Chains A and B, each alone.
Chain A
Amino acid sequence: MLRNRLIFGLIYSSGSFMQSRNFRLQRVGDVNWLEKNYKFQKISFSLDELVVLDATKGEKNIEKFSQVVSRLVEDVFIPIAAGGGIRKIGDAELLFNSGADKVILNSPLYDDPKLAEEVVNRYGSQSLVASVDYKVINDVPIVHIHDGVTPVKKSLEEYLAYLESLGVGEIIFNSIDKDGTGFGYDLENIKKYAKSVSVPFIVMGGAGNKFHLSSGLSIDGVSAVATANLFNFIGDGLPIARSHMLEHNANLARWD
């Protein structure tokens, strides 16, 4: 049976890892802090995938970011998706060569769809993850690009269909309103859109504890739940969350 996935996200900005809340970033620590408090070589055995995003505002340094990625992937045997700041095929190539198994695109999907096409032609659909950030304005979820700043004119439904037409392999559905709150996922909109696409649907934004992760996975059409909450899952938080989910019959992979 195809399993659902538990994904951990890391938000990186100018040399540090961040806690994001409604897309405002708070510095938590550098890669040494992360290794000390999260011990990925050990914790990765509680995860199904790692997502690393460069959320540096303004100019991003993809070389430096790719060095961070290559340090994170050492002795970690799960898929790594990396993105943020990919503007040309060479940037994607750099991340792949640094150990990323997939790359994540957000704004270029709208601004420069040719780049998505290039990634798909070269590395295949399964190597491209589309990240979609939305916020609810007057009860309507609106996609925002450029770090959540610029609203997109297409409706969310149209935008998701558009991403599929570009050939993306997976979609990360991220609520800006719930981001970093720890209040739980935006279940209402997840229910509405998870089944509207034919590619795997990853939900992100809001999970603060193991119950939230379980509730996200319980929605039909959701393939994976992601959290980037560095504070709430510190130490043994992720292993504990995974065992809790497995005990409650979550459909997650089992390791010996």
Chain B
Amino acid sequence: MKLVIVDYGMGNLRSVTSAIRYLGYEQVEISNDPLVLSCADKLILPGVGNYARAMSRINELNLTDIIRSLVLADRKPILGICLGMQLMGKSSTEGGFNEGLCLVDGLVEAFEVKDLKVPHVGYNQVTPCQNSRLYSEVGGEPDYYFTHSFRMTSQTDIGNTTCFYGERFIAGFEVENIAGVQFHPELSQTNGLKLLKNFIELF
């Protein structure tokens, strides 16, 4: 099993890598080399920070078309984490309107609820989608660590796992080979470790 963490210069790659190693998967590589990406069994797209900046970094590295073709044509499994998950949608309004990787039908916008502390920070419970693979053997409405000011919504069923914070938003999705989570599994104790393992084993 060869896992590649896509590095576009933003985000805490270290904690994702160490969580995966902790689970016993030794073949983890951090890379933005198209050749390395295409040889991976599975891709992980992490990310922390500003959407506009992230998309421009990905475009500068000419990764947009490569990721799209690996995921949509070759059906390589991919897991987006936090900003990485948001990048997989159609667009975001963070830092102006920007197109995303368009892997799923989701729009990213700021939280719209008044009287709410934003960013949404801390552990919150999620409601997994029916027959979820990601949350397999994670019981009930598990807690995961969130930290974000923008959130995704969708008009389509993309295997939505939801979370409530003033409003319901997409905490994660899973369609065929494509999965994403708004929260940080690598910072969510046993609940997060199980989710990472599920992605690696079940996708």
Q: Chain A: residues with CB nearer than 8 A to chain B?
A: 1-5, 44-45, 48, 73-75, 77-79, 96-102, 121-127, 169-170, 197-201, 223-224, 252-256
Once the chains bind, are B12 and A99 in contact (CB under 8 Å)?
Answer: yes
Which B residues lie within 8 Å of A123 (CB)? 48-49
- Closest chain B residue to A70, Cβ basis: B14
In the assembled complex, how far is the CB of residue A14 from the closest CB belonging to chain B, in whole angstroms?
Answer: 25
Once the chains bind, are A255 and B143 in contact (CB under 8 Å)?
Answer: yes
User: Pick the contact of B189 from A1, A126, A223, A255 — CB < 8 Å?
Assistant: A255
User: Pick the contact of B14 from A77, A97, A124, A170 — CB < 8 Å?
Assistant: A97
Measured between alpha carbons, how far is A121 from B22 in the docked complex, in Å? 32
Question: Which 5 A-B pairs rank lowest in CB-CB distance, beginning with the nearest?
Answer: A253-B123, A253-B143, A126-B147, A126-B119, A3-B123
B97 interfacial by beta-carbon distance below 8 Å: no
Measured between alpha carbons, how far is A3 from B145 in the docked complex, in Å? 10
Measured between alpha carbons, how far is A27 from B143 in the docked complex, in Å? 36
Which B residues lie within 8 Å of A77 (CB)? 15, 19, 22, 186-189, 192-193
Which B residues lie within 8 Å of A98 (CB)? 14
Can you name 25 A-B pairs with beta carbons within 8 Å?
A: A48-B122, A74-B18, A75-B18, A77-B19, A77-B22, A77-B186, A77-B187, A77-B193, A78-B145, A99-B15, A101-B187, A121-B53, A123-B49, A124-B149, A126-B148, A198-B116, A199-B118, A200-B117, A200-B119, A200-B121, A253-B123, A254-B143, A255-B189, A255-B191, A256-B139
Measured between alpha carbons, how far is A200 from B121 in the docked complex, in Å? 7
- Closest chain A residue to B124, Cβ basis: A2
Once the chains bind, are B165 and A2 in contact (CB under 8 Å)?
Answer: yes
Measured between alpha carbons, how far is A125 from B186 in the docked complex, in Å? 20
Measured between alpha carbons, how far is A254 from B142 in the docked complex, in Å? 8
Once the chains bind, are B122 and A2 in contact (CB under 8 Å)?
Answer: yes
Q: Chain B: residues with CB nearer than 8 A to chain A?
A: 12, 14-15, 18-19, 22, 48-50, 53, 116-125, 138-139, 143, 145, 147-149, 164-165, 184, 186-193
User: Pick the contact of B124 from A1, A124, A254, A255 — CB < 8 Å?
Assistant: A1
- Closest chain A residue to B19, Cβ basis: A77
Which B residues lie within 8 Å of A199 (CB)? 117-119
Once the chains bind, are A99 and B119 in contact (CB under 8 Å)?
Answer: no
Which A residues lie within 8 Å of B189 (CB)? 44-45, 77-78, 253, 255
Once the chains bind, are B119 and A125 in contact (CB under 8 Å)?
Answer: yes
- Beyond A2-B122, A99-B12, 6 extra complex contacts between A and B, CB < 8 Å: A3-B122, A48-B122, A73-B18, A98-B14, A99-B18, A125-B119
User: Pick the contact of A170 from B18, B49, B121, B191 — CB < 8 Å?
Assistant: B121
- Closest chain A residue to B148, Cβ basis: A126
Measured between alpha carbons, how far is A120 from B201 in the docked complex, in Å? 36
Which B residues lie within 8 Å of A170 (CB)? 119, 121
In the assembled complex, how far is the CB of residue A247 from the closest CB belonging to chain B, in whole angstroms?
Answer: 17
Which A residues lie within 8 Å of B117 (CB)? 197-201, 223
A124-B121 contact given A1-B164, A79-B145, A79-B184, CB 8 Å threshold:
no
Once the chains bind, are A127 and B165 in contact (CB under 8 Å)?
Answer: no
In the assembled complex, how far is the CB of residue B189 from the closest CB belonging to chain A, in whole angstroms?
Answer: 5
Measured between alpha carbons, how far is A201 from B12 in the docked complex, in Å? 24
Measured between alpha carbons, how far is A124 from B11 in the docked complex, in Å? 10
In the assembled complex, how far is the CB of residue A224 from the closest CB belonging to chain B, in whole angstroms?
Answer: 7
